[in-house]
């Protein structure tokens, strides 16, 4: 971002991110990406409205972190005591 002042132009590199989202089905990917994009745009607008008065000059980089989660699974069987079975 850049900000024009009486002394010249001030450049800064603020960082904006969205919260983590869990995706269960592949059909949810586009919806979750749109929600994350809206959240980042809201944070940028809030930052600008709070007095920074910056202008977005360049987006230097963006990235998405994806992590595959494998839940724990049980792999043994312990029979209940006779008095609890029925």
Q: pLDDT tens, 17-64?
A: 888 888 888 888 899 888 888 888 888 888 777 766 677 777 778 777
For the chain, the three-class secondary structure string (H helix, E strand, C coil) is CEEEECCEEEECCCCCCCCCCCCCCHHHHHHHHHHHHHHHHHHHHHHHHHHHCCECCCCCCCCCCCCCCCCCCCCCCCCCCHHHHC
pLDDT of 61-76, one tens digit each? 877 777 787 777 777 7
Query: In which residue are the tokens 């043994």 written?
Result: 76
Q: What is the pLDDT of residue 52?
A: 63
Question: At 10, is the pLDDT very low, low, confident or very high (cuts 50, 70, 90)?
Answer: confident
Q: What is the pLDDT of residue 18?
A: 80
Whole-model pTM? 0.58
């Amino acid at each position: 971002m850049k900000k024009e002042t009486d002394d010249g132009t001030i450049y800064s590199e603020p960082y904006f991110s969205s919260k983590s989202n869990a995706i269960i089905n592949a059909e949810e990917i586009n919806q979750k990406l749109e929600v994350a994009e809206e959240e980042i745009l809201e944070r940028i607008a809030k930052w600008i409205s709070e007095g920074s008065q910056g202008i977005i000059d360049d987006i230097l980089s963006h990235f998405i972190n994806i992590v595959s989660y494998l839940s724990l699974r049980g792999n043994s069987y312990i029979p209940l005591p006779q008095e609890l079975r029925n």
